[in-house]
């Protein structure tokens, strides 16, 4: 049985720099604040000597990208999930397959955006520091800055990852399903990846920014819940009526975009948890968080919180945990000049 994660998704310590803002300690220097057990070869400030300007370069490009199209910020955050949760954080999502058998060609990669933007950032970094910074690290830094530019935390990012040479459609098809998983499958999948229920509920909070296409949720929630040709009874009826106006029934590849957090889709805040609690979240996998005592308790606490600081700290920890999945470091993998190399 393959356990899958929605589109999106250890022992931890408080992350003091999680909600960094200008005027506070630079996240690149907050080595002692990182959670969990370290991974050999990864470190905050990994490029301090070889490419000291890399974080500034990535942030500058991300500012330009988001200024042109705000939806690319959330898209690049999703991009890291697709990279790290398939074969680990190794930029294998960027590889092209001449036989259409790569991760890009998998069903869950439909609608994924960010390929050109990763290449754009990589080109700027290459001009300053040739063959030094991996595509995998650029994806992780871009995801962090996507959060920051949406008024979220600018947490410290470990670097030192190297790029993988394998990209398989099979892996992505197994690990990145439609967002219709129930809570048992979600928790089991996270456990297999070495992450826990808190990583699940915190990383699901990424849905507080961005949009999703109608085709990713309309059938499950609006028109054919459980294959019965009806609406999901757990979905708020007023919200469902609004969604029905946007999403056409029976249109299999409906690309109409809908905000995942209808109140504040551009702001990284607690809106997602309030949506889940009020039955106005978009995906079945979002609503599934209410079916477990631990994840439900976290949703309820964040929905009632006056400040997002606890969520920001937890999010920094969870992203660090995900950023350590199956990484290639040292002499493993490679540093590519361009990210979209061809594989078979």
State the binding site: 83, 86, 88, 90, 92, 103, 177, 207-208, 261, 269
Which residues fall in the annotated binding site for Ca(2+)? 83, 86, 88, 90, 92, 103, 208, 261, 269
Looking at residue 277, the DSSP 8-state letter turns out to be H
- Give the helix/strand (H/E) hosting 285: helix 284-287
Catalytic residues, which ones? 82
How many Å apart are CA 260 and CA 275, to the nearest integer? 9
Neighbours of 124 (CB within 10 A): 17
Provide the sign of the torsion angle of the four alpha carbons 20, 91, 47, 132, taken in this order: negative
d(CA 76, CA 31): 25
Question: Which phi and psi angles does 254 have, rounded to 5°?
Answer: -75, 110
CA distance 121 to 94: 13
Annotated binding-site members for heme b: 207
Q: Dump strand ranges (E) for the chain.
A: 43-44, 96-97, 158-159, 211-213, 257-259, 342-343
């Amino acid at each position: 049985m393959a356990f899958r994660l929605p589109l999106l998704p250890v022992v931890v310590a408080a992350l003091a720099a999680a909600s960094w803002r200008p005027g506070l300690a630079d996240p690149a220097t907050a080595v002692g604040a990182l959670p969990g057990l370290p991974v050999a070869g990864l470190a905050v400030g990994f490029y301090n000597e070889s490419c000291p300007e890399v974080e500034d370069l990535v942030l500058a490009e991300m500012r330009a990208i988001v200024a042109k199209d705000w939806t690319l910020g959330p898209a690049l955050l999703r991009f890291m999930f697709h990279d790290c949760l398939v074969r680990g954080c190794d930029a294998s999502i960027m590889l092209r397959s001449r036989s259409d058998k790569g991760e890009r060609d998998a069903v869950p990669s439909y609608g994924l955006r960010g390929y050109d933007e990763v290449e754009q950032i990589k080109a700027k970094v290459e001009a300053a520091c040739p063959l030094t910074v991996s595509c995998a690290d650029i994806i992780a830094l871009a995801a962090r800055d996507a959060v920051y530019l949406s008024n979220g935390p600018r947490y410290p990012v470990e670097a030192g990852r190297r790029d993988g040479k394998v990209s398989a459609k099979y892996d992505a098809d197994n690990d990145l399903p439609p967002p219709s998983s129930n809570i048992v499958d979600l928790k089991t999948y996270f456990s297999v990846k070495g992450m826990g229920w808190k990583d699940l509920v915190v990383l699901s909070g990424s849905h507080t920014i961005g949009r999703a296409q109608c085709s990713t949720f309309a059938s499950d929630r609006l028109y054919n819940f459980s294959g019965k040709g009806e609406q999901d009874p757990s979905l708020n009826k007023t919200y469902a009526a609004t969604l029905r106006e946007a999403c056409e029934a029976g249109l299999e590849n409906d690309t109409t975009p809908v905000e995942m957090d209808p109140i504040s889709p551009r702001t990284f805040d607690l809106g997602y948890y309030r949506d889940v609690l009020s039955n106005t979240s978009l995906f079945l996998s979002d609503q599934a968080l209410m079916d477990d005592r631990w994840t439900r308790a976290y949703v309820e606490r964040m929905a009632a919180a006056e400040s997002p600081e606890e969520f920001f700290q937890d999010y920094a920890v969870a992203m660090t945990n995900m950023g350590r999945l199956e990484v290639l470091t040292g002499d493993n993998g490679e540093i590519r000049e361009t990210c979209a190399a061809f594989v078979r």
